Amino acid sequence: MHDKTDLVHVPVGAQNLAKLSQTLRPHQPALRRFHELIGYMLAALAGLAADSAILVFLVDVAGISVLTAAALSFTAGALVVHALAVRIAFCRHKLKSRRVELVLFVAVGCGGLLVTLAVMAIGTQWLLLDYRLCKGAAAGGSFLFNYAARKALLF
């Protein structure tokens, strides 16, 4: 049985997410890498949700071409990923300047965008597949590229 001193009060709110994440981060290298991967995956899923919703809106409602919409929605999703990844995934930063880190984060994202655009173009224009199906493959390829490059360069 636990007494009141065993209980930990966790304040609710977005501003406390970073504090909670700092507290829960493991210190062993293998566990830290696993935590970073899971945290980055969650951040990427949130970015993918934003990216996909914006993509469908731009194509189906706004009537924008698939490739233009894919570039715009990918950029919005990348901003979501960055905002979350630096709070819940990566506790160690290789660079001291957060501005330089953001610039490189976005630069790596441009590589991920090229992966996305290539998969979308091949899938929709050559294979004549539905753009929503192609988005799944593009998201997987982009995730692998972005995580590996960002981990190697930034975190």
Mean pLDDT for the stretch of residues 29-41: 87
- Map out the domains of the chain as residue ranges: 12-153
Q: Please state, in angstroms and as integers, the Cα–Cα distance from residue 28 to each residue in 34, 36, 51, following that order.
A: 10, 12, 33
Least confident of 23-32, 106-115, 117-126: 23-32
pLDDT digits (tens, 9 = 90+) for 61-114: 999 999 899 889 988 988 898 899 999 988 888 998 988 988 899 899 889 889
Tokens at 34, concatenated: 């696993």
CB 83 within 8 A of CB 109: no
3-state SS, the chain, equals: CCCHHHCCCCCCCHHHHHHHHHHHCCCCHHHHHHHHHHHHHHHHHHHHHHHHHHHHHHHHHCCCCHHHHHHHHHHHHHHHHHHHHHHHCCCCCCCCCHHHHHHHHHHHHHHHHHHHHHHHHHHHHHCCCCHHHHHHHHHHHHHHHHHHHHHHHCC
Q: Which of 140, 28, 122, 139 is nearest to 67 (CA)?
A: 122
Model's pTM, two decimal places?
0.65
Mean pLDDT for the stretch of residues 13-39: 69
- Residue 140: how many CB atoms within 10 A of its CB? 13
Counted residue by residue, the chain has a size of 155
| d(C-alpha 110, C-alpha 38), whole Å | 22
Please report which confidence band the pLDDT of residue 23 belongs to, taking 50, 70 and 90 as the band edges: low
| d(C-alpha 105, C-alpha 99), whole Å | 10
Place of tokens 């992966």: 115
